[in-house]
Amino acid sequence: MALSDQVAAWAVTRRELADTLLTHPDMRKNPRHWRAYMDGLIPSTWPLLQIITAPTMLTADGADHTRLRQPIQKAFTPRRVEALRPRIEEIVEGLLGKLASGDPDEVVDLRQQFAFQLPVTVICELYGVDDAAVRHQLAHDSALLLSSTTPPSEREAAEKSIFGTMAQLVAAKRAQPGDDLTTALIAEFDGDQISEDELIASLFLMLIAGHETTQNLLSNAIKDLCENPEQLRLAMNGAAGEADPWKGVVEEALRLDAPAATTMFLYAAYDVTVDGVTIPKGEAALIYTAAIGRDDRVFDDPDAFLPGRPGGHQHRAFGHGAHHCLGAHLARLEAQIALPALYNRFEVTPAEPLGSVKRVESLSSNAPARLPVYLSPRDRS
């Protein structure tokens, strides 16, 4: 796979090989192990440069990774995430109420008006960001950074905007601490666990991971249900043998179209040979999570949307190994709340064939760019 005129990376699409590389002791996440980057061959305008070089747990190995991950991990335990359920339900009901007030003959973009709104509200509340305009700007800027088509000047402006907002947030929480994730991470900083740059970069990483991933998960799941009405009927009526069929819907959406198309780069610190192929020292590999979910060596009929399928959870939508996504519990919970609430309230009818809608142009994001639908109140009698 070519990243630029001078640089290539290895593409991994099989789950067994991906698991081997993601847990291999000679594969690293710090770009100092990437020869092309160290030799200055990666253009400064390359779309994902900021994400793969920011001093976060995503780009750290060993003790550094543990040091940066542990403070954040405390905020995303299953118990703490579950405690967010009432607030997430409240946010969802508020968003659905706004949708219900619209004209039923009007085309609604559920990606923009629902899938976008929920996760950005949740992650910003976790941060302690109350200003709706700031929330929207953060989400807008993060989308610009992830897009492969954003002009360099706009990407640079978006990067400065996000990091500037994060710095202002840290300063505000130092002056007036709150019961939020930003304040908790500041406490770790003041305990000499992480530097100021690492603190701001970590907030930046969680913003993108906490918002974009869930937005894509919801977008993909809604598209899948629109295209598979029989599976929607089963979920609505309660699939046989499942206490909560919506969990199966969410897991199958994660498998069929992983919201992050790839896990960000791995680099060979030494020559690494897997399945007879050698990745030379200094070269990069991309794990294609979106392809792994359709690995026909793991999943029968891999291109079909079949919630509740045996082994459906064995995808790698949230990565694998030491860098498994900390926000996986939260993303699942948001989707498991949002999807049944949406379909219990509305009949959702595509306004155009959703399979023909252009996808997000990004090496990292995997979702339709729009979800044009008609919404009509569901008969609850």
Q: Residue 379, exposed/middle/buried by CB under 10 A (0-12, 13-18, 19+)?
A: exposed
**Encoded tokens for 94:** 């508020």
Residue 55 in any domain: the answer is yes
pLDDT number for residue 1: 57
**Encoded tokens for 157:** 């402006």
pLDDT tens digits along 3-17:
666 678 899 999 999
pLDDT number for residue 48: 80
pLDDT number for residue 242: 63
pLDDT-derived band at 60, boundaries 50, 70, 90: very high
| Residue 377 · residue 272 · CB < 8 Å | no
pLDDT number for residue 150: 84
Q: How far is CA 32 from CA 37, 53, 61, 274, 284, in A?
A: 7, 9, 11, 22, 11
pLDDT tens digits along 147-199:
778 888 898 898 899 999 999 999 999 999 998 888 888 887 777 678 888 88
Residue 292 in any domain: the answer is no
**Encoded tokens for 270:** 């030494």
Question: What's the domain range around 159?
Answer: 43-257+324-369
Q: How many domains does the chain have?
A: 1
Give start and end residues of each alpha helix (H) in 150-280. Answer: 152-175, 181-190, 196-227, 229-237, 245-256
Element (H, E) at 68: helix 62-73
Residue 51 in any domain: the answer is yes
Residue 146 in any domain: the answer is yes
pLDDT tens digits along 312-365:
999 999 999 999 999 999 999 999 999 999 999 999 999 999 999 999 988 888
Residue 2 has pLDDT above 80, yes or no: no
Residue 312 in any domain: the answer is no
Average pLDDT over residues 31-53: 89
pLDDT number for residue 181: 86
pLDDT-derived band at 146, boundaries 50, 70, 90: confident
> What is the share, in percent, of the chain residues with pLDDT greater than 70?
97
Residue 330 in any domain: the answer is yes
- Closest C-alpha to 290, from 14, 8, 97: 14
d(CA 342, CA 377): 10
The strand pair at 10-12 and 284-287 is best described as parallel
pLDDT tens digits along 198-243:
889 888 888 888 888 999 999 999 999 999 999 999 999 875 456 7
pLDDT number for residue 241: 55
Residue 118 in any domain: the answer is yes
pLDDT number for residue 6: 67
Q: Helix or strand or coil: residue 6?
A: coil
| Tokens 């990069």, residue located | 284
pLDDT number for residue 185: 84
Ranges 23-27, 154-158, 275-279, 340-344: which has the least confidence: 154-158
d(CA 372, CA 222): 11
Residue 352 in any domain: the answer is yes
**Encoded tokens for 29:** 């996440």
One-letter amino acid of 354: L
> What is the share, in percent, of the chain residues with pLDDT greater than 90?
65
- Closest C-alpha to 57, from 309, 256, 245, 327: 327
pLDDT-derived band at 75, boundaries 50, 70, 90: confident
Report which of residues 145 and 250 the model is more confident about: 250
CATH number (domain holding residue 217): 1.10.630.10
pLDDT number for residue 296: 96
pLDDT number for residue 177: 93
| Residue 256 · residue 366 · CB < 8 Å | no
